[in-house]
């Protein structure tokens, strides 16, 4: 079977949040360069390639394994900026033992094309070696080394300001081998992925607790990036879709109530409205970060003591003061 299309070329998907921010370029619209990645809230998808699973007509495989309906381009155009990709040594995308009809290189090529069209955006991509073994570890490491040379990855091991990330793929690495990106689960990440849950209500309580740990507070800077998985299953009792039907509306209510967590919210079957709501949170998150940033600059500003006796004229004093360069405005 040939590869399925991962795009719908020519189709207009100009989604906007309710404040008028275009979802396909929300980062360029809302996020200043000085902002740390730890101060952003972004939509993400869990097992992002499962829109293309090979169920071979088996409803049970589809129900248990599919976590996304949107194709890759739809995800990106609707504001998703975190992708969760599981790859085997063949280079194919998988969800557990279920193959998605996608190759990792094709997905990365589409990501690169999106970033070329929207160069002020950036993506975080987790790449996990699915079903790892000693026999296949070297193959995956070799595949990833080739990908690093072919696609616009940002390969740092820290959490940078956004200016460094524009137009790039921030690699989150989960395979054995040479460290090429930020290790998934490193001390710089705080991850909640309680994926086996008896009910949507229980998953929501777990998610809400983790969201609370990342809430924006004036004057408080985050030193880690929070990853909040809203996804779960307990097949055959609960499926990814049945959990999402409970969790996603409660998440929307939580954000509509004014709660402003930071990090990545990784979802199954997100809606445009939910992605828009997550994006909107950044209006307030940037404002809170800007106030903290301004105080930080002020605290670092050197005091200027001038002995007026050293100046024979008032003009000389004015000239000295005017030459002292002050930080510019940080607000958009």
pLDDT over 50 (residue 316): no
Q: What percent of the chain has pLDDT over 70?
A: 85
Query: Can the peptide bond before residue 236 be classed as cis, meaning omega within 30 degrees of 0?
Result: yes
Q: Is residue 40 part of a domain?
A: yes
Give per-residue pLDDT as tens, 225-274: 999 999 999 999 999 999 999 999 999 999 999 999 999 999 999 999 99
Instruction: Domain count for the chain, please give it.
Output: 1
314-325 average pLDDT score: 41
Residue span of the structural domain in which 48 resides: 23-298
DSSP 21: -
* Better-predicted residue by pLDDT, 292 or 8: 292
Q: Which residue has the tokens 């070696």?
A: 129
User: What is the rounded average pLDDT of the residues 171-197?
Assistant: 96
Q: Are 66 and 83 in contact (CB under 8 A)?
A: no
pLDDT digits (tens, 9 = 90+) for 15-50: 555 567 899 999 999 999 999 999 999 999 999 999
The predicted model gives 178-193 an average pLDDT of 96
Residue 326 included in any domain: no
What are the distances in angstroms from CA 282 to CA 23, 87, 245?
12, 32, 25
Quote the tokens at residue 17.
């949040």
Q: Report the Cα 11 to chain-centroid distance in Å.
A: 24
Confidence of residue 328 (pLDDT cuts 50, 70, 90): very low
Q: Which residues pair with 153 in a beta bridge?
A: 169
Three-state DSSP class for residue 246: helix
Mean pLDDT of the chain: 88
Judge whether 306 lies within some domain.
Answer: no
Look at phi and psi of residue 135 and say left if phi exceeds 0, alpha if psi is from -120 to 50, else beta. alpha
Six token digits for residue 264: 């990545």
pLDDT at res. 5: 44
pLDDT higher at 1 or 213: 213
Residue 328 counted as domain residue: no
Task: Let me know if residue 277 belongs to a domain.
Answer: yes
Residue 269 and residue 68 in contact, taking contact as beta carbons nearer than 8 Å = yes
Q: How confident is the model at residue 208 (pLDDT cuts 50, 70, 90)?
A: very high
For the chain, the 3-state helix, strand and coil shares in percent, each to the nearest 5, are: 40, 20, 40
Pairing of strands 92-95, 98-103: antiparallel
- Does residue 312 lie in a domain region? no
As given in the structure block, the two tokens for residue 306 are 């001038």
Record the pTM: 0.86
Question: Does residue 319 carry a pLDDT above 60?
Answer: no
170 part of a folded domain = yes
Say which CATH number the domain at 63 has: 3.20.20.190
Q: What is the SS3 assignment for 40?
A: coil
The two three-digit tokens of residue 265, written as one number: 């919210």
Asked if residue 155 belongs to a domain, the reply is yes
- Lowest mean pLDDT segment, chosen from 168-182, 194-208, 265-279, 314-328: 314-328
């Amino acid at each position: 079977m040939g590869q399925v299309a991962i795009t719908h070329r020519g189709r207009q998907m100009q989604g906007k949040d309710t404040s008028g921010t275009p979802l396909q370029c929300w980062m360029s619209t809302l996020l200043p360069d000085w902002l740390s990645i730890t101060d952003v809230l972004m939509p993400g998808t869990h097992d992002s390639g499962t829109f293309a699973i090979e169920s071979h007509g088996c409803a049970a495989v589809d129900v248990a394994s599919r976590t996304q309906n949107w194709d890759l381009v739809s995800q990106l155009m609707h504001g998703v900026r975190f992708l969760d990709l599981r790859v085997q040594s063949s280079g194919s995308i998988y969800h557990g033992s279920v193959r998605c009809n996608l190759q990792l290189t094709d997905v990365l090529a589409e990501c690169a094309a999106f970033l070329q069209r929207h160069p002020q955006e950036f993506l975080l991509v987790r790449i996990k070696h699915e079903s790892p073994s000693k026999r296949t570890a070297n193959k995956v490491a070799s595949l990833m080394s080739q990908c690093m040379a072919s696609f616009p990855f940002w390969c740092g091991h820290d959490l940078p300001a956004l200016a460094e990330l524009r137009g790039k793929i921030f690699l989150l690495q989960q395979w054995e081998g040479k460290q090429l990106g930020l290790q998934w689960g490193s001390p710089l990440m705080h991850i909640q992925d309680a994926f086996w849950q008896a009910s949507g209500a229980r998953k929501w309580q777990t998610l809400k607790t983790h969201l609370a740990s990342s809430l924006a507070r004036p004057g408080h800077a985050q030193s880690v990036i929070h990853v909040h998985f809203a996804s779960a299953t307990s097949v055959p009792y609960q499926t990814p879709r049945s959990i999402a039907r409970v969790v996603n509306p409660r998440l929307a209510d939580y954000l509509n109530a004014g709660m402003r967590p930071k990090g990545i919210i990784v979802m199954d079957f997100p809606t445009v409205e939910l992605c828009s709501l997550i994006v909107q949170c950044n209006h307030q998150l940037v404002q809170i970060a800007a106030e903290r940033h301004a105080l930080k600059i002020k605290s670092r500003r050197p005091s200027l003591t001038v002995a007026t006796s050293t100046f024979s004229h008032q003009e000389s004093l004015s000239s000295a003061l005017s030459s002292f360069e002050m930080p510019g405005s940080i607000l958009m």
